[in-house]
Structure 1
Amino acid sequence: MLSRLFRRSAALPKTVPGRIPDGMRVYAIGDVHGRLDLLDALLTRIDAEDAARGPAERHIVFLGDLMDRGPDSAGVIDRVMRLAKADPRVRLLIGNHEEVMISALEGKRDALRLFHRIGGRPTMHSYGLSEAEIMAADWDELAAAFQAAVPPEHLAFLKSGEDLIEIGDYAFVHAGIHPDVPLAEQKVADLRWIREPFLTHRAALPRIVVHGHTITDGVEWMTGRIGVDTGAYASGRLSALAIEGDERWIVDVEGAPSDAR
């Protein structure tokens, strides 16, 4: 199963030109997928590293897919929501899993079925729905139970996320961009779901694209893009790309793989 989920990362030189404005430091966190334990550890490491590097305006960009597959999606959403409320420089991108969860909570039955299929069951567990309740419910009953279990502020927070964030020479998105379309004209579906032709594109892009969505066994450094989804729920590794000026480096943590899927 894992061999189908993971791509081998490309370890190319980290010297592709690109910079952010002076005085800023950006941490882009890859797909968390319900791993609150890893997120807490990574945020602690980021806090310590950020302090050690000296004064800068710190920005944290969550690349999307906070939920599903891992064991504590409710805890992850709550943690990120509280961070963003306390600091407007903490921002969330809407990933495909956010999109599906939002649609499921808005009563779209097809979305609830897809949510269930792509790892939403552990998310329901994290909001207090038991396995017995899930198994006994029909789709309408399950939709009602899930809607009742999720705090309205969680849904509002997820819906407030962004699709594209541009900082300096970088564009932060969940999945990627269509290489042949200007940034201002990108389709939301591509920003949240695309794999090809983005992943195999080798020519220049309008920005260096920092993204999640496609799991690799390490942060993937390509000429026009940097992939930061290291499969936290399955690998036990959660990664962040850090950027300051024209410098880039990785901050990550490792723990045990999750039993939830």
Structure 2
Amino acid sequence: MTTFFMRQPLPIDMSGGNWSHFRDVLPAGTEGVRIYAVGDIHGHLDHLLAMQAAIAADRAQHPVERMVIVYLGDLIDRGLHSRSVIEQIAAQQNAANETMEIVCLTGNHDAWLNEFLTDAAVLPLWGRKGGLETLASYDFSPEEVMRAMADPVAAEVMRLALVARMPQRHKEFIATLLLSYQRGGYFFAHAGVNPDRSLGEQRKEDLTWIRDRFLTSRTDFGKVVVHGHTSGPRVESLPNRINVDTGIYATGVLSCVVLEGTERHLITVDRGTLRALREQQMETQHG
């Protein structure tokens, strides 16, 4: 199985801009642990399970005493299995031990779900942006959701129904997602950071929503910022940031950066990986 999940070196790209001020900056380190940072999952359970298997295979092939898995937010919406994604990651977090820490960040999509649990007014916007699929995973029909998006009374009825229907552990999981995480020379946030504020003064809006001001910045933020939120065709590995969002709902690619010491590597799971895994499982089942 490990042949499906071979890590690839992820060099730092210093082209396409003036990065000269980074040439004398010491590379970021990870304080003696290995960090796996997983991009936006958006309700794609098969990709999540394959990525968890990939991380386990990578650890078996490259043994390490201590590791941290960081999920960079937008766990839900757009894909068909948001409920199962929450269940799977929450279970993994509960099973963590002194050799494996699980860190889960909040993305703007996760925040919409948390907000809907107390305020039905968010439904018309959230529903159009992937909330319909998340609510469907909690057994609401698309027709019910569409009606509730157009009717505030129906939206409140749906909110109350979700509060009753959603397992308490799911509500607690969504409510306790972190805005950011720091380890060694790295700072992890869903969307990025405001270049005009120190890392200790970032606001929730910027950590979950920021785009252009952060993405176009050549600033040394004090730590390398690892983020998702703005999808692209490939992982961006730059001197001041790493973008791990490869647009799973459009491309079928889920990416994970592996950070250890001063090295960066990449693991990807795509539709071809999933097909190969299914074929291998069928062969195993049929002897």
Q: Which residue of 2 aligns with 1:12?
A: 13
Residue 81 of structure 1 and its aligned partner are, at CA, apart by 0.3
Kindly report the root-mean-square deviation, in angstroms, between the aligned alpha carbons of the 2 structures.
1.9
User: For 1:102-181, what aligned pairs fall within 5 Å after superposition?
Assistant: 102-106=114-118, 108-137=119-148, 138-181=154-197
Residue 13 of structure 1 and its aligned partner are, at CA, apart by 5.4
Conserved 8 A contact 2:36-2:69: yes
Deviations 1:162-197 (A, max 9, x none): 111110000000000001101111111111111131
Structure 1 position 40 matched with structure 2 position 49: yes
Residue 76 of structure 2: SS of its match in structure 1?
Answer: coil
Runs of 4+ in structure 1 deviating by more than 4 angstroms, as ranges, are 13-16
Unaligned runs of 5+ in 1: 1-9, 257-261
Partner of residue 66 from structure 1, selected from 75, 100, 113: 75
TM-score by length of 2: 0.81
Conserved 8 A contact 1:30-1:239: yes
Residue 206 of structure 1 and its aligned partner are, at CA, apart by 1.3
User: For 1:163-202, what aligned pairs fall within 5 Å after superposition?
Assistant: 163-202=179-218
Partner of residue 100 from structure 1, selected from 112, 116, 132: 112
What residue identity is the alignment partner of 1:91?
Answer: V
Deviations 1:29-66 (A, max 9, x none): 00000000000011101100111101320110000000
**CA distance 1:122–1:11, change in 2 (3 Å):** farther
Larger-Rg structure: 2
Residue 225 of structure 2: SS of its match in structure 1?
Answer: strand
Deviations 1:116-149 (A, max 9, x none): 1211001011111122333444222222232233
Q: Which residue of 2 aligns with 1:52?
A: 61
Conserved 8 A contact 2:186-2:225: yes
Give the % identical residues: 38
Conserved 8 A contact 2:193-2:207: yes
* Matched length: 245
TM-score by length of 1: 0.89
Q: Distance in 2 between matches of 1:181 and 1:38?
A: 35
Q: Distance in 2 between matches of 1:13 and 1:72?
A: 38
